[in-house]
C-alpha cells in the first residue's frame, strides 16, 4: 500500500460532520504521547497530521482521504492528565459520537509507546477495539536497545494473551523507518478483505 495521494478533509466534533459516503475507514488510536500523528505523517511522507512536543494536540476526529479510496481517521489521544477536564470530556463525547454512528471501519491501528505499554488507557482501548481487526504498533523503538525491544515485545504478547485480545503486533521507529511497511501492508489487507 502506497499513500500516494492523501489530503485532509475535515475535523469532526459532531455526528452531522461525519462523512456520509460509506467510504472504508482505518482508525488510528492511542495515548496522547504515543506518536499517532507522527506515524500518520511518516506513512504519508507528508506533514499532514499536526504534531507537537506537548501531548494532547489532536482534539477532534481528523479525517484524511487516502488515494481517493479510504479514510484514515486520527482519533483524539487519551490519558493526558494535564489537559483540562472540559477538553477531556469533549474528546470522549466526539469519540462516543463516532462509534455510535456505526462507521464502516475496516481496521484499527493502535499506537503504543514501546517504553510504556499496556497502561490503563491502552488496556481500555485494546478491549474496546478488540472486535475489529487491529494491529498494535509498538512505537518509538529507536529509544530502546535490541534487547529492550525484544523484552517489550514479549511482554506485550503476554499481556495480550492475558486480556484475550485478537491482535497482531509490529515494532516501529519513525526515525529509522522500521515498521512502516508492515502497517501499510496490514491496511492494504484490511481494505481488500
Residue 106, domain member (yes or no): yes
Residue 173, domain member (yes or no): yes
Question: Cβ(156)–Cβ(117) under 8 Å?
Answer: yes
Q: In the chain, what percentage of residues exceed pLDDT 90?
A: 48
Look up the pTM and report it. Answer: 0.87
Residue 39, domain member (yes or no): yes
Residue 83, domain member (yes or no): yes
Question: Cβ(165)–Cβ(130) under 8 Å?
Answer: yes
pLDDT tens for residues 27-39?
Answer: 999 987 888 888 9
Q: What is the domain range of residue 134? A: 6-191
Residue 1, domain member (yes or no): no
d(CA 92, CA 59): 10
The chain-wide mean pLDDT, for the chain, equals 84
Residue 77, domain member (yes or no): yes
Domain count, the chain: 1
Place of cell 472504508: 24
Residue 148, domain member (yes or no): yes
Closest CA to 163 of 112, 104, 97, 118: 118
pLDDT tens for residues 9-20?
Answer: 998 877 788 888
Residue 84, domain member (yes or no): yes
For residue 63, the domain's CATH number is 3.40.50.300
Question: Cβ(42)–Cβ(177) under 8 Å?
Answer: yes
Amino acid at each position: 500500500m502506497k499513500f500516494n495521494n492523501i489530503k485532509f478533509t475535515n475535523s469532526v466534533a459532531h455526528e452531522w460532520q461525519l462523512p456520509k459516503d460509506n467510504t472504508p475507514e482505518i482508525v488510528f488510536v492511542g495515548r496522547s504521547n504515543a506518536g499517532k500523528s507522527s506515524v500518520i505523517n511518516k506513512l504519508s511522507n507528508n506533514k499532514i497530521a499536526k504534531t507537537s512536543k506537548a501531548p494532547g494536540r489532536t482534539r477532534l476526529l481528523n479525517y484524511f482521504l487516502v488515494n481517493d479510496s479510504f479514510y484514515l481517521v486520527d482519533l483524539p489521544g487519551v490519558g493526558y492528565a494535564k489537559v483540562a477536564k472540559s477538553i477531556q470530556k469533549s474528546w470522549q463525547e466526539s469519540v462516543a459520537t463516532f462509534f455510535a454512528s456505526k462507521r464502516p471501519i475496516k481496521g484499527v491501528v493502535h499506537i503504543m509507546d514501546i517504553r510504556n505499554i499496556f497502561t490503563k488507557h491502552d488496556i481500555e482501548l485494546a478491549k474496546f477495539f478488540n472486535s475489529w481487526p487491529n494491529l498494535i504498533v509498538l512505537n518509538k523503538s529507536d529509544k530502546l536497545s535490541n534487547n529492550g525491544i525484544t523484552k517489550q515485545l514479549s511482554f506485550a504478547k503476554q499481556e495480550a494473551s492475558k486480556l484475550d485480545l485478537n491482535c497482531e503486533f509490529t515494532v516501529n521507529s519513525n526515525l529509522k523507518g522500521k515498521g512502516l511497511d508492515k502497517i501499510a501492508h496490514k491496511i492494504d489487507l484490511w481494505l481488500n478483505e
